[in-house]
Chain A
């Protein structure tokens, strides 16, 4: 049963990587859109595309937090007492980002809009970096079961930096893929082309980081590398193929196909991480079973996941379909 909850947790992580990731990535393109006048069309597209969905997208993070602290409390505090620096910075980044975005949306052109826009864009790039380092610290087994691991080397290490850089490149890639579709729906050919180009560039970048990552992991996280190259290998192969196919189709293909391929590529990478860790939650010192809460609590979480499937998933689909059909805005 604890395995089932671990799967649920990972579904949350994957959802956050996809939806939250696309949100963060939009902030990256916002930051690099150029001056106030030149960047306006890009920023406007980002505004209308993510305004209605960003809060729902970020609820996946809350979902991950509550699931982990309820189901695996010991692992949760082990992480928070070790990785408190990147987690704290990520929390602050989320505040700056969310408020900045909401304020900018409400303000007309002017200084206020500019300042809140900068806050939004900068924190959109920094926050996923910190989350990436957290993932790297956990994946490379640097979080001791009892917590209170090294405050710096737990997240300033090759695997963590790889995680951070990968997050910072994958997010813009995802966002560019999503925004291509949004631009196409608005029949804005110039923007559509621009985002196809951006997606291509970011995709190449993410692919290169992933390739370098293979060597980093082999040197820095032998167990993770071993697991990824054995049990995790099928998932990574699927990821690589989808990523490559998406890249080839980017210039001409229809956005929904590219979007699906890109989403599968990300899902399988994150899933691969999960498979590689199994049956451990932390390094090779805390298993899922050992960390699990009493059965009754796990049943509550199963019930919550069930309700989420029947209630939240249809609601999310409604939101996204309204958004895609341009009924919101």
Chain B
């Protein structure tokens, strides 16, 4: 496949299976992250609306979403556990040497994950017998813990990009300044970027499901709300994300020139650098791309005379291979292109909303929204490829090469093959479960659904199903 092209004859034999497996399991896990992180927030928005305004349909939505979240959270928890194992099984060179620095953000993450696991359980299973507001606040803990957990994992990841806060003597980490490790140069922006990405992906994904229902003519309050809440969240996050992304690109230009040269597909250092759209780097040349004169220089430093370093200047031993450069560049282009499409969709929504003040019924808008979740997912995955592949051949930039981090024991191929099979089963299982839930709910309808909180004494006709606590 693509990654096999990255392998040269001198690489250790386990490098390919280790990288493929890590990429695959991380790429799988990252899909679930938005649901643990941002989906719970949307659930709470509906929940809040239900408690404040006595909106029973919102309550049904929140309750059903929590059931979906339960399934996805479970899969996310176990696939996250696998990543924990893999750090040791696949990358002993990283953990053994840099564990004292790279490892402790995960200990902090462990705290947040603990909180998340505890309160997500209380929230999900608390519908029947917990009083409404305390129940709501257990959900708030989940959302906050999710933010903390993301920050911790990103702290570890961003440290690999811009390592700081350690002293190494004789190949051993002898001193650590924890605050500088955690809050390294890449931390804040990378964290905000991932957080927004999670809200965008979850928002468009969930909205897409209800856009589908609206297209099929189910225009009731339940479907409109199920569309509006997540879509609004994603639409607010989208322009912010482009601003953040733009800032990060300049920061990468500043502090990670090797990655930036790959992003820009730029072999030789120079100014007045054109922005190359598409294209790959083969046989020492940039091919098949469309070039916009001077744009890369202007984007990096606001003037055409901005100098950008090319990857040709990197010593051959630690220079990214041609295929790495091409992958990073294309992934970046895909990320920006998909994000721009999503921004357009968000603006379209804003226009339609501004004119009518209601959930749009425009069929092309709904069709686009129905697939927006998948587009957002592509954007997320390609952004992640830019960060991770863009760091190659380093695992920790300037300190540890990936070929020195990788495992040398045994043969990793059988493990990887088993992982593929089991994950395929899990993916099929999860989709099957979600489909079953959707069918069950659409047969049941929103009106007839069992209302949480106490006995079913208050029928839908009451209008105030939650009693006297709404304003």
Contact = CB atoms under 8 A, between A and B. Distances in A.
A is bound by B: yes
B109 A66 contact: yes
Contacts of B437: 106
B431 to A, nearest CB: 11
Interface string A68-98: 0110011011111110110110111011111
A55 interface: yes
25 contacts: A55-B121, A59-B114, A62-B80, A62-B81, A62-B110, A62-B113, A70-B106, A73-B96, A76-B88, A76-B96, A77-B88, A80-B95, A84-B89, A84-B410, A87-B85, A94-B78, A95-B79, A98-B74, A99-B78, A101-B74, A103-B71, A293-B99, A304-B110, A307-B111, A322-B126
Contacts of A56: 114, 117-118, 121
Interface string A107-147: 11000100010010000000000000000000000000001
Given A106-B437, A112-B433, A296-B178, A315 B75 contact: no
Interface string B407-451: 111100001001100110110011011001100100000000000
A87 B95 CA distance: 16
B409 to A, nearest CB: 5
B82 interface: yes
Contacts of A55: 73-74, 77, 117, 120-121
B422 A96 contact: yes
* Interface of A, helix, strand, loop or mixed by DSSP: helix
B115 A312 contact: yes
A293 B339 CA distance: 42
A64 to B, nearest CB: 10
Given A62-B84, A106-B437, A318 B122 contact: yes
B92 interface: yes
Contact of A297 (B78, B92, B100, B110): B100
B95 A77 contact: yes
B89 A293 contact: no
A84 B409 contact: yes
A124 B129 CA distance: 30
Interface in B125-169: 125-126, 128-130
A99 B92 CA distance: 27
Nearest to A316: B118
Size class of B's contact patch?
Answer: 35 or more
Contact of A81 (B120, B176, B409, B418): B409
A51 interface: yes
A98 B80 CA distance: 11
A282 to B, nearest CB: 13
A76 B95 contact: yes
Interface of B: 67, 70-71, 73-75, 77-82, 84-89, 92-93, 95-101, 103-104, 106-111, 113-115, 117-122, 124-126, 128-130, 173-178, 407-410, 415, 418-419, 422-423, 425-426, 429-430, 432-433, 436-437, 440
Given A55-B74, A94-B82, A311-B111, A66 B430 contact: no
Contact of A151 (B80, B174, B410): B410
Nearest to A322: B122
A315 B115 contact: yes
B126 to A, nearest CB: 6
Contact of A66 (B107, B117, B176, B433): B107
Contact of A301 (B74, B107, B410): B107
A297 B104 contact: yes
A280 interface: no
Size class of A's contact patch?
Answer: 35 or more
Given A59-B117, A102-B74, A311-B115, 19 more contacts: A56-B121, A66-B106, A67-B107, A69-B95, A80-B85, A81-B408, A84-B89, A92-B418, A99-B425, A99-B430, A102-B433, A106-B433, A106-B436, A148-B409, A294-B100, A297-B104, A297-B178, A322-B126, A328-B125
B71 A102 contact: yes
A106 B422 contact: no
Contacts of A79: 88
A92 B419 contact: yes
B107 A328 contact: no
Contacts of A101: 74
Contact of A328 (B98, B101, B126): B126
B95 A304 contact: no
Interface of A: 51-53, 55-56, 58-59, 61-63, 65-67, 69-70, 73-74, 76-82, 84-85, 87-88, 90-92, 94-103, 105-108, 112, 116, 119, 147-148, 151, 293-294, 296-297, 299-301, 304, 307-308, 311-312, 315-316, 318-319, 322, 326-329
Of B75, B100, B106, B173, most A-chain CB atoms within 10 Å: B100
A76 B174 CA distance: 17
What 9 A-B pairs come out closest when comparing CB atoms? A73-B99, A102-B74, A80-B88, A77-B96, A293-B100, A70-B103, A98-B78, A328-B125, A77-B92
Contacts of A329: 125, 128-129
A80 B92 contact: yes
A107 B126 CA distance: 19
Nearest to A80: B88
Contacts of A95: 78-79, 81-82, 422-423, 426
A301 B98 CA distance: 15
Contacts of B117: 55-56, 59
Contacts of A307: 111
A80 B89 contact: yes
B265 to A, nearest CB: 37
A61 B173 CA distance: 26
Contacts of B419: 92
A84 B407 contact: yes
Given A84-B89, A88-B85, A106 B71 contact: yes
A80 B415 CA distance: 14
A73 B100 contact: yes
A8 to B, nearest CB: 10
